[in-house]
Structure formats: C-alpha cells, structure tokens
Structure 1
C-alpha cells in the first residue's frame, strides 16, 4: 500500500462492444478489476453492452520503465509549451500505441478534469507509477513548477535506468561465457571423449593417467549425469519457488554480491549513485529529508542499502544530523560523511548530494565499461585451458603410441 492508501490491484484489459441510444455500434477498451465495473460504466454512459472480452492480465511487469519515463518527459514538454494539464494528459492518452496505457492516461485525465490532483490519480495506479512519481509530482503541484519537476524526474529515471542496464550487462557477460565453457566441456566429455575411448580400448595398452581420469569422469557423467542434472534442476526450481522470494534469502544473495571482489565495487557504486541522485532530486524539489530518504530507499534494489537508509531515516527523526547518521552504516564511505557534513554546515546539501551522485555514477559507469574488458582475457584463458586440456588428454595416447612405435 502506498502512502496515499492506494492498493496494488489486479488490473485486466477488457475490450467492450455496446449499442448507443441511436442504435449505433460502439467499441472501446477499458482496464478494470472485473467485468461488473465495466457493465456499470457502460450503463451509466447510456450504452447497452453487447460483449465484454478480457484481452490481457496487467501484471506489474507489463508497465515498462521506459514507457513511464517517456510519458513524464512528454508531459513536461507539453506543459512547458503552455498546454493545460488536462489537455496534455488527454493528448498523450489518445496518441499512445498501447491500449492499456491509453486507458490509464485517459482515466487520469478524467480524474484531473473532475478536480483531483494529478499526484492523487497517479497514486491509484501504484504498479504503473512507483511512489516517487507521486511524491515528486505532488511537490510540483504545491510549488507551481510541475513542468520542471516532471522534467527533473524524467532525467533522473533515465540516468538510473542507463546505469542499471550497464551494471546488468557487465554482470551478465561473465555468466554467459562461463555457461558456454561449461556446455562445451560437458559436450566433449559426454560425446567426443567416449568415441576416443573406444579407439583406445583396441590399443590394449595402459593409458596416461590424465586421459584415464577424464575417461572415468566421462563414464560417471554418462551414467549419473541425467540424475545429477535432474537433481540440480529440481533444486534450482525449489530454491527459486520456495526460498528466493523470502527476504532473508535475498539478503544472503545480495550480501554475496557485495562480498565478491569483481562485483562488490560495481554494485556498491551503482547503489550509492542511485541513492544520492534521488536524495539530491528530492532536496531540489523541496521534499523533506525524511521523505527523500524514504524515496531513496524505494529507488534502490539492494536490501542491505534499504535497511541502512531506513535506519538513517529513524535517526533523523530522532534529531541526529544527517552526516552522523550516515557514519553509523559501513556501507557508506568516509567521503560521503565528509561531504554531507560540509553540505549541512554550508546550506548547500542538495549540491553536494548531486556531486556525490555524479561521482559514484561515474565510478559505476567506468567499472561497468572496463569490467568485461578486464574479465574477458581471464575467461578466455580459462576456456583455453579447459578445452586445450581436453584435447591434449584425447590425443596424448596417440602421441605416446607413436613414440613407442618409433
């Protein structure tokens, strides 16, 4: 439940067909929880329903971040051009290519036309618009700078999305290469090496220990491999279904990422960049520090940083200065404490928070760009050693046989 009391609902996209008072056929799309609400809306509009068909279940994953950001940026552009808010929302809703987004934006425009604040209408769709959208837009409505707040929000979300994509790409590359190396190794052990073993059996000679060890491994994989693979798949499925959704297991997974040498700096800098960027934006928008910390906690995906920010928020509520609250958490480097202290004493906290965000975003981007270049030679070397070792093991008896015959 969001702060405005909106509950995450199980929306569905429906397509309806109805007859108006003149006997003409009317059709359209609508998002609702069930068909009964659509019947009521059609009757209230003087339409006689003919058919209502569900087209799609709108889960949280349906609402893509790039579409959210595009809407906020376009809204900022239209407002800066002087178009009224209701007209801007109606225009964006009518022009959207996806029926679900079309319905949501037109519903929001209808609510604004009835006198409801835009932030309140966004709060009715918590799966579509995260809470930070409602908070920032609410500040824009109070200060009369809705266009600037929308533009600032769009820029911040774009930067965070770009950084997240870079981090995911940098972490995905080693996993893909490792998976390919594992598949190649298994194929050679289960398909290629057994054919060589049949040839070696005709030599009636003792095989080199390395070759014999790999042949034994190959025989073990062929006989017990399906059972091992089945057990691993069953274990992974059980873990993802039963254990992974629980917070304590997510904490362990994310703690491992913060502990591993190759990922710790990348994950830490990306989280710090998101936190300070959100804090800086909320301070510039005029939000309270407590609300800004809550928004920062919601914007970061790592649970350890969420816990740390919630603890800092509680200390701020008790009257402890921000820089002293940050000192209590080992996740935040000393430079963060020092710059925040300077910002509090000089009255330029938002500027120094922005500098911290820029610093950690730059470090995370640099690490993401160089991580794949750094790991690639190591992974290639490991793959070369594995594949080369298998090839040597397969041909070593032939080499020895040649030397004996010579």
Structure 2
C-alpha cells in the first residue's frame, strides 16, 4: 500500500503537523486524516523515496504519526507591514479552505494563533459575523482599512459563483505578486537615495569636524600665504556650516517636512506621480510596474467573475498613481458607452501600444482575463530585468559620485599641504 507524506493543520490546536500515512489513494488518505481532525495542506506519495527517509518520517505501531516538529501559523500585526499581513492571512485561509476546512473553522484556527492585538481582534470580529449568519464578505466589509474594495469584491464574486476556495487562492497569488513587484520598484528607487545620504553624511562630517582642524594648521604653517581657490571654497563652506549649524539642520528638517506635506496635497501628489513616470531610467521602471499592476488587477477581477465596469472602477481606485487612475477612468467611461477596452487603451498616453494590441486579441478570442495575466507576467519579468540592470548601472555611478564628493574635500585639503612641504624643504 502506498505511503503518503503529509503536512496538515490540526483543527484542535491550530498547529501545522507533518507525518506519513498509508492508504490506497490520496483521496482516501485525505478522508482518513480529516476524520482525525487533520486538514492536509500538502500530500505527496513517497514512492521512489529512500526507504530510510520514510522510516524516519513514519514511526512504527501507528498509522498516522506526525513529526515532533510543529510550527504555528503566525502572522505579523497591523502597522507598516499591513500589506504583507493581509497577504499571509489570505494564503493561510486559502490553504485551509482548499483543504476542506469550513471558513468559520479556518478563521478560528488563524485567530487562535495570534497574539492579542488588532489583527487578532479583526479575525475574531469576522468570525463572529459569520457565526451570526453573515458571509465572509460581510465580515470583511466591516474592516475597510485592512480589506480594500478589490479584496472585498473578489470574495463576493467567489461566494456568488460557489468557488470561494479558487478565488482565495487566486487572490493570495495576486497579493504575493503585487507585493513582490512593489518591493522591487521601491528598492530600485530607494537605493540611490541611500547612497546619496551616505555620501552627504560623510562629506558633512568632514566639513564640520576635519576641515576646521586643517584650517588652523594652514594659518600657522603658511603664515598668510594665499590658499588654492578650491581650498578657499571648502573652508568657506565649512565656516558657514559651523556658524549656522542650527539653522542648517532646521532648514534641512523644514525641507523634508515641507516636501512630505506638499506630496500629500492634491497638487503635490499629481506632480510627484507625473514626475515618477517621466524620470530618466526610473520613469520606465515605474511605468512598467504600473502596467503590471493594472493588468494583473483587472485580469484577476475578471477571472473571479467581477463584471468589467465594476472591475475597471476597482482597478482605478487601486492604481496607485493619479495619472494611471485618470487613464483607467477614461477607459471606464468609453467601455460604459459601448466601446471595447482595447480602443481607449490604445489612445491613452499612459499604456504602451503592445498592451492595447494584446488586450484586443484577448477580447477577440474571449480570453481577456488570461491575456491580461500574460501581460502582467511579461511586465513583471521586464521589471525584474530593469531592476537588475538599473542596480548594476547605479552602483558604480553612485560610488563615483560619492568618491568625487569626498575626493573634492580631500584634494582641497591636500593642495596646501603640498605647498607647506615645499616651503619647509
């Protein structure tokens, strides 16, 4: 009789267990495991596996012997990682539902593993809504900060079609891919800022702490002889910073706070969103990320059973860029008047012509959701390649810039030293 290695959730403790079980088929082993209160999330035949490995997995004198190693289903709380929290929660819930566990039981299992906090309260609240006769979407709707319109409408579509397990799996994959692509774009834009911050900090330390000491040496050794122009410029900057260090720091903070405030205004956010799309090198990367997000969001919604007009509205609200959102809004208006998606997409100044062509093919073949997913995968790959290329280009450029900034200060201090050596000789 075949032996199957399994990973399962214990409905009593909520913990993940691993072990091995004998049975004529996967279906029979799954049924037997559920009878023991174990909902399998992974089930693989050990046929062809080394016999010693199987013996280590399954202890004798027992049909189902889980490993001693147990891992809790753990999720971080609310805060900066809210998107990651939602992603992990969705993946865990999708796994439990796919394994045959009822929604309410799955929520109870996930809730039981959480430390006291806002996320645990949220899951408990959703479970209570279902216990009172509501649906999963009813519970999610009470927490719009955590579960946005895209999430809510996909769950509603899954409930209406009777394929909630499939929709949750699709939603989990969507959130994981969106999180991955967002992280790559963010890291590509953050890297130059980190390098420049380090460079400015190093130069600032030299100007404030090192240059003044050399100024006194120059005054003593050169005895009034004129300094090189570069040295005079660096010394002037050093005197200004030292004499106005409080004002300099205050101005720096004021600029940072002012920019943060300005970018939160309607005009400021529009300007920044536009700037991101037209920035040299980075603009192309941001645009590809926006196209991947648009096509994946729309494709996932359509594949889940959401109607096209509603899907476009949700995609607009989750675009993440004002100019992309406005382009989607214009597409929505044209589709509402009876046009296809491809025509207004082609006339848009935001989306590449290739996207419109592929969407047109998808509409003609009746496979628009699949085509949108393919477009998203293509642009995800392009973002990966662009990030790798950008990092390889920016790294030497940033190092050269930092070397020039530090080197300028060092050379400015070295030139008078040469004159001092010549005088002494």
Q: Give TM-score, length-normalised by structure 2.
A: 0.78
- Correspondence for 1:210: 230
More deviation in 214-223 or 326-335?
214-223
Query: CA offset at residue 239 of structure 1?
Result: 4.1
C-alpha displacement at 1:63, in angstroms?
A: 7.1
Contact in 2 for aligned 1:93/1:106 (Cα 8 Å): yes
What corresponds to 1:115 in structure 2? 133
| Structure 2 counterpart of 1:263 | 282
Correspondence 1:182 to 2:200: yes
Aligned counterparts of 1:87 and 1:404: Cα–Cα separation in 2: 87
Cα shift at 1:86: 2.0
Q: Once structures 1 and 2 are overlaid, which stretch shifts more, 229-238 or 275-284?
A: 229-238
The answer to whether 1:87 aligns with 2:105 is yes
After superposition, the C-alpha distances for 1:146-193 in whole angstroms (9 at most, x for unaligned) are 000001000100110011111111211110110111111122122211
Counterpart-to-counterpart distance in 2, 1:63 and 1:267 = 21
Structure 2: how far apart are the matches of 1:304 and 1:313?
A: 14
Measure the CA separation in 1 of the matches of 2:333 and 2:301.
18
Aligned to 1:39: none
After TM superposition, the structure 1 = structure 2 runs for residues 228-307 of structure 1, keeping only pairs within 5 Å, are 228-241=248-261, 243-307=262-326
Query: Is the 8 Å Cα contact of residues 211 and 396 (structure 1) preserved in structure 2?
Result: yes
Q: 1:153 to 1:319 in 2, by over 3 A?
A: same
Q: Is the 8 A contact 2:277 2:284 kept in 1?
A: yes
Range with greater deviation from structure 2 (90-99 or 331-340): 90-99
- Measured in 1, the distance between the counterparts of 2:138 and 2:377 equals 32
Q: Which runs of 5+ in 1 are unaligned?
A: 1-58
Q: Report how far residue 102 of structure 1 moved.
A: 2.4
- 1:3-27 deviations in Å (ceiling 9; x for gaps): xxxxxxxxxxxxxxxxxxxxxxxxx
Deviations 1:357-402 (A, max 9, x none): 0111111122223322210101111111121221111011121233
Q: Does 1:329 align with 2:348?
A: yes
Mapping for residues 1-400 of structure 1, pairs under 5 Å: 61=79, 64-202=82-220, 203-204=222-223, 205-241=225-261, 243-400=262-419
Aligned residues: 347
CA deviation digits over 1:237-292, x for unaligned, max 9? 24434x33212111111211212113101111111111101111111112111122
C-alpha displacement of 1:403: 3.4
Secondary structure of 1:82's match? coil
Q: Residue 68 of structure 2 aligns with which residue?
A: none
Change in 2 beyond 3 A, CA 1:240/1:231: same
8 Å contact kept, 1:275–1:300: yes
| Offset at residue 302 of structure 1 (A) | 1.5
Determine the C-alpha separation between the residues in 1 that align with 2:101 and 2:252.
58
> Which residue is equivalent to 2:74?
none
Shift of 1:404: 4.8
Whole-Å Cα distance in 2 between the matches of residues 391 and 209 of structure 1? 14
Under a length normalisation based on structure 1, what TM-score does the superposition of the two structures give? 0.81
Query: Is residue 174–residue 372 contact of structure 1 (8 Å, CA) maintained in 2?
Result: no
Listed as ranges, the gaps of 5+ residues in structure 2 are: 1-76
Q: Per the alignment, in what secondary structure is the counterpart of residue 348 of structure 2?
A: coil
SS of 1:206's partner is coil
